[in-house]
Copies of this chain bind each other. A is one copy, B any other.
Amino acid sequence: MAPDDTIEIPEPENQELLQDLSEKGNTAELVEMFEELPTMDVAEFMEEKPIEEVIEFLHKLDIEDQGRIFSDFSQTIQLKLFHALDRRSFAEVFAHMFSDIRADLYQELSKEEQIELLPYLNKKVREDVLILSAYPPETAGGIMTTDFATIFADMSAAEALEKIRKDAPSKEMIYYIYVVDHSMVMKGLVTLKDLVLHNPKDKVLEMLNEFFVYAEVNEDRESVAQKIEKYDLVAIPVLNSLNQLVGVVSHEEAIDIIRAEQAEDFEKFGGIMTSPNDDEYLQTSSFHHFKKRVVWVVSLAAIGIISGMIISAYQGILESFIILAMYMPMMAATGGNTGSQAATVIIRSLSLGEIHDEDWPRIIFKEVKISLMLSITVAILTYLKIAFLSYHALLPTGFSMGYIAFTISLAIAIQVITSAIIGAGLPLIVRRMGGDPAVVASPAISTVVDITGLLIYFSVASYTFGIS
Contacts and interface: CB of A to CB of B under 8 A. Distances in A.
A450 B344 contact: no
Contact of A340 (B270, B294, B326): B270
A343 B197 CA distance: 54
Contacts of A301: 330, 333-334, 337, 378, 381-382, 412
Given A3-B243, A329-B454, 16 more contacts: A3-B185, A6-B243, A10-B212, A39-B231, A165-B197, A168-B197, A259-B352, A262-B263, A282-B355, A289-B370, A293-B374, A297-B341, A305-B326, A312-B325, A325-B325, A332-B450
A443 B188 CA distance: 52
A4 B305 CA distance: 60
Contacts of A329: 304-305, 307-308, 311, 332, 450, 454
Contacts of A369: 286
Contact of A11 (B213, B234, B244, B272): B213
Contacts of A165: 196-197
Interface stretch (A83-91, A110-118, A129-137, A250-258): A250-258
A348 interface: yes
B304 A332 contact: yes
Interface string A360-391: 00110010011001100110011001000000
A263 B354 CA distance: 12
A426 B213 CA distance: 45
A402 B78 CA distance: 56
B36 A211 contact: yes
In the complex, which range does the number of interface residues on chain A fall in?
35 or more
Taking each of A183, A362, A442, which has the highest tally of chain B beta carbons within 10 Å of its own beta carbon? A442
Interface string A232-276: 101000010011100000111011001100110111011110000
B378 A297 contact: yes
A186 interface: yes
Nearest to A10: B213
B311 A345 contact: no
A-B pairs, top 8 by smallest CB distance, nearest first, are A270-B344, A307-B329, A304-B330, A308-B326, A304-B333, A337-B443, A281-B349, A286-B369
Interface string A15-59: 000000000000000000100111110000000000000000000
Please report whether the interface of chain A is mostly helix, strand, loop or mixed according to DSSP. Answer: helix
Interface string A307-345: 111011001001100100111111111101110110111
A312 B323 CA distance: 8
A303 interface: yes
Given A234-B175, A315-B322, A362-B282, A214 B298 contact: no
A38 B231 contact: yes
A465 B300 CA distance: 27
A326 B377 CA distance: 30
Given A161-B196, A333-B447, A373-B287, A341 B296 contact: yes
A399 interface: no
Contacts of A174: 193
A146 interface: no
A344 B6 contact: no
Contacts of A287: 373
